[in-house]
Structure 1
Amino acid sequence: MGSDAGAVATDRLLGGRLLLRQPAQGHRAGTDAVLLAAAAPETPAGDVVDLGAATGAVGLALAMRAPEARVRLVEIDPALAEIATENVRLNDVQGRVTVCATDALAAAARKAAGLEDGSADLVLTNPPYLDAARARSSPHAGRALAHVMPEGGLAAWIKAAVKLLRPKGILIAIHRADATPALLAACERRLGAISVLPVHPRANQPASRVLLRAVKGSRGPFTLHPGLVLHDAGGAFTPLAEAVHRGEALVPW
């Protein structure tokens, strides 16, 4: 299942250091991608998978600060995967970052694409936010593919992510705040040492997103962290949010 990316624009993230070609219409990376990349360990090494990578914003942002990491950008949409390949060249990270165009939720497709189970030290993922059974899909094919969860739902998505992890490997995800119960349920019996960090648009508003970090096979306790506030009363980024968006700070777990 794919989409025609159509017109493509070039954006700059992380204070201009990351060049990102993206469809001019449809799903485009922004704050969620920046937060997810900044939620990874400070100096990740080994094998990293950006699951549902779209044009590669999360994996590329990680690769730029972690030269020892080997990153695979996994995307089902061949048009977006092609743009991700262009972004790898544009940011001069060939050899450290590769693109894999496949359906990662299907075990046979993963294996055929060279995505071996138990091969990743870290999986970063921004799952589609909408449930196909309850949400109206966008008429734009690329936006619908990026935003609507495929059959099997969040549980299947997290299961695939966990399959890719080595024992004691780390999963980090970002999702809507109201999906937290479903996200935690999907982790049950698969992951432990779960940490959740709410993300608030403003200090006096409910969280709109949550970041989740968990360890495969761990029996560590659950931790709920203080929330990250993105904007001040005037609508500008808070100092921490500004630093994260410029690539100068990490999410404070």
Structure 2
Amino acid sequence: MLEVTQDLLLGGRVRLVQPVRGHRAGTDAVLLAAAAPVRPGDGVVDVGAATGAVGLMVAAREKDARLVFVERDPDLTELCRRNLRDNGIQGEVAVADVLDKASRQAAGLSPESADLVLTNPPFLEEGQARISPDLGRAAAHALPAGGLEAWLKACTGLLKPKGRLALIHRADRTAECLEILGKWLGGMELCFVHPSADRPAIRLLLRGIKGSRAPMSILPPLILNGPDGRFTPEAEALHRGETDLL
């Protein structure tokens, strides 16, 4: 039986059951949810949802969003369904491998059906780094070689024309993300996330619009920690759900 913990996000507004071992939701999920340009009535697809943290936090902000959680691991999808029930959120959980067209189709994921796609892709690809021996962590953190382009192509394929994508990734893969997404998105907004004011960025938050020809914008950076090592007021407010990154 999967060993789990029960955690609270956004100052207790979201309850999350997640595995003790493997990938666990944290600051990346909080930041992606805070950057999501969600509107009332939007059809929102959380790709690579795991236990549903990102989508649940978006639902806590916008009650009228229609949510679909896409995850290939059956154990995580069961926890995602449990989290939806525990939080009183209506949503669909699709068991699908986003990299496999037939799997997406079998799960009912239709092309050009989403107003907003949110994704936190696995950060590594095979051959780039040593992969964790923990199978759950490895699956969450690593893609097949060339998998990032396939992942992002599938995500943008789910978007309606003028639909919006929000992504978080490692800052050192910014050029690759821009090269791939530039084929389909415009009006891209970039926000770099720094662990402290004197250290290089570790994360990239990116938003874009399918089919837009608007120019790219670089937003002010987000600094997570002050000189004392504690969250900055902005980072603390984001984690408590008191503000967002729109």
Equivalent position to 2:182, from 188, 204, 210: 188
Q: Corresponding residue for 1:80?
A: 76
Deviations 1:126-162 (A, max 9, x none): 0000111222211111000000023532111110000
Where 2:12 maps in the other structure, the secondary structure is coil
Decide whether the 8 Å contact of 2:9 with 2:240 is kept in 1: yes
Equivalent position of 1:126 in the other structure = 120
1:188 positional shift: 2.2
The separation in 2 between residues aligned to 1:62 and 1:209, in whole angstroms, is 20
Q: Matches of 1:136 and 1:75 in 2, distance apart?
A: 24
Task: Indicate the residue corresponding to 1:26 in structure 2.
Answer: 22
Map 1:81-100 → 2, pairs under 5 A? 81-93=77-89, 96-100=90-94
| Cα RMSD for the two superposed structures | 1.2
- Identify the residue that residue 235 of structure 2 maps to in structure 1: 241
Q: Secondary structure at the match of 2:129?
A: coil
Of 206, 220, 226, which aligns to 1:226? Answer: 220
Cα distance change on mapping 1:229 and 1:142 into 2, 3 Å: same
**Matches of 2:161 and 2:101 in 1, distance apart?**
18
31-40 vs 99-108, which moves further: 99-108
Q: What amino acid sits opposite 1:56 in the alignment? A: G
Task: Tell me which residue corresponds to 1:163.
Answer: 157
Q: Distance in 1 between matches of 2:224 and 2:49?
A: 23
AA in 2 matched with 1:74: V
* Partner of residue 33 from structure 2, selected from 27, 37, 46: 37
Equivalent-residue separation in structure 1 for 2:119 and 2:69 (angstroms): 10
- Does residue 111 (structure 1) correspond to residue 112 (structure 2)? The answer is no
Per-residue CA distance 1:63-101 (angstroms, 9 max, x = gap): 1111110011100111111111111111111xx312111
Number of aligned pairs?
246
Secondary structure in 1 matching 2:84: helix
1:45 partner SS = coil
Q: Give the partner amino acid of 1:78.
A: P
Displacement of 1:44: 4.5
Give the structure-2-normalised TM-score: 0.97
Q: Distance in 2 between matches of 1:237 and 1:42?
A: 25
Structure 1: distance between partners of 2:94 and 2:102: 14
Check if 1:10 corresponds to 2:3: no
Cα 1:42/1:134, change in 2 over 3 Å? closer
Change (3 A) 1:59 1:81: same
> Runs of 4 or more off by more than 4 Å in structure 1?
none
Alignment of 1:69 onto 2:65: yes
Query: Counterpart amino acid of 1:35?
Result: L
Q: How does 1:203-222 map to 2 (within 5 A)?
A: 203-222=197-216
Structure 1: distance between partners of 2:155 and 2:197: 32
Counterpart residue type for residue 239 of structure 2:
H
Structure 2 gaps of 5+ residues are none
Mapped to 2, the partners of 1:115 and 1:42 lie a distance apart of: 19
